[in-house]
Amino acid sequence: MKYSEIVCLLRSKSKIIRYEIIKMIGKAGSGHPGGSLSATDIGVALFFYQMKYKPDNPKWEERDRFILSKGHATPLHYALLAHANYFDKKHLSTLRQYNSILQGHPASYLTPGVEVSTGSLGQGLSISAGIALAGKMDNKSYNVYTLLGDGELDEGQIWEAAMFSAHKKLDNLCTIVDRNHLQIDGNTEDVMALEPLVKKWQAFGWYTITIDGHNMKKIISAFDEFLTIKNKPTVIIAKTIKGKGVSFMENKAEWHGKPLKGELLKQALQELEPRINNG
């Protein structure tokens, strides 16, 4: 398949996934739309371009691992897993329901394809570093991909794991920061300033790549570049827009964990649905 065709297919898949996210949160009446939408293009590139896995054999030892450290973005994770054929898409309409396999945060004991139960922010990178180190020790070829929220970088455990990963030269570890500049309490730079973010990661010994997190060409190029880096972990700082794709949600902190209802839900679905039909 030509490169241009791959990019086109990934863009189309992103439109579908965004629609799924809004639809399932609307049905559930609860959930986290803003950060799910901002990371959609990154997730699509990971699941449908970058990672190797076998949905019919979820525990295949050589599979790449994806850890959703920002565990509240499960609507994105579940939509990706369903479209990757880990489970039937009909389950998406059961988000957060009693006895559903799709709970409000990832649960590895419930949901096929979920590697680790997450939700307590700051822990995902530590878990990922351990999995990456285990892969090195066992001479496995898999890579570990971890998605962090930028507000999550306020957690000290992130930086402990960053030091550890560089010290162990975990070049099979790729961390993606969803840099949408907003967290539940407002702008990240007002809550606890993160900049200069690139220099921080570099000071901790990481190879850094900065991209537009909605430019599919730039995203897959960054993942390709990660595969060439030796003897140090890679962080991709993806500049994104919270609520991407829904006009009234974009760059609004209040949509971090607020569901859409009534006319707003209808408007959001209308804004997203034609994009699927038009490709």
pLDDT for 173-192, tens place per residue?
999 999 999 998 999 999 99
**Mean pLDDT, rounded, for 132-152:** 98
User: Band of the pLDDT at 277, cuts 50, 70, 90?
Assistant: very low
What is the pLDDT, as a whole number, of residue 273?
84
Evaluate if residue 19 carries a pLDDT over 80.
Answer: yes
Mean pLDDT, rounded, of the chain = 95
Tokens (6 digits) for 246: 């829904």
Evaluate if residue 278 carries a pLDDT over 50.
Answer: no
Q: Which of 1-5, 119-123, 184-188, 206-210 has the highest mean pLDDT?
A: 206-210
Tokens (6 digits) for 88: 């039937």
Evaluate if residue 47 carries a pLDDT over 50.
Answer: yes
CA distance 243 to 141: 35
Determine the straight-line distance between the first and last CA of the chain, rounded to whole angstroms.
18
Instruction: Tell me if 154 sits within 8 A of 116, measured CB to CB.
Output: no
Using CA atoms in the order 219, 116, 36, 213, what is the torsion angle rounded to 10 degrees? -10
Q: Which residues pair with 149 in a beta bridge?
A: 178
CATH value at residue 233: 3.40.50.970
Q: Tell me whether the omega of the peptide bond preceding residue 55 falls within 30 degrees of 0, making it cis.
A: no
Hey, is 144 helix, strand or coil? Answer: strand
Residue type, 208: T
61-65, 227-231, 238-242, 274-278: segment of lowest average pLDDT: 274-278
Closest alpha carbon to 175 in 126, 104, 214, 248: 126
**Mean pLDDT, rounded, for 134-138:** 98
DSSP per-residue letters across 59-97: T-TT--EEEESSGGGHHHHHHHHHHTTSS-GGGGGGTT-
User: Band of the pLDDT at 279, cuts 50, 70, 90?
Assistant: very low
CA distance 197 to 172: 22
User: Band of the pLDDT at 33, cuts 50, 70, 90?
Assistant: very high
**Mean pLDDT, rounded, for 52-59:** 96
pLDDT in tens, 69-124: 999 999 999 999 999 999 999 999 999 999 999 999 999 999 999 999 998 999 99
What is the pLDDT, as a whole number, of residue 259?
86
Q: Which domain holds residue 128?
A: 3-278
In the chain, the number of structural domains is: 1
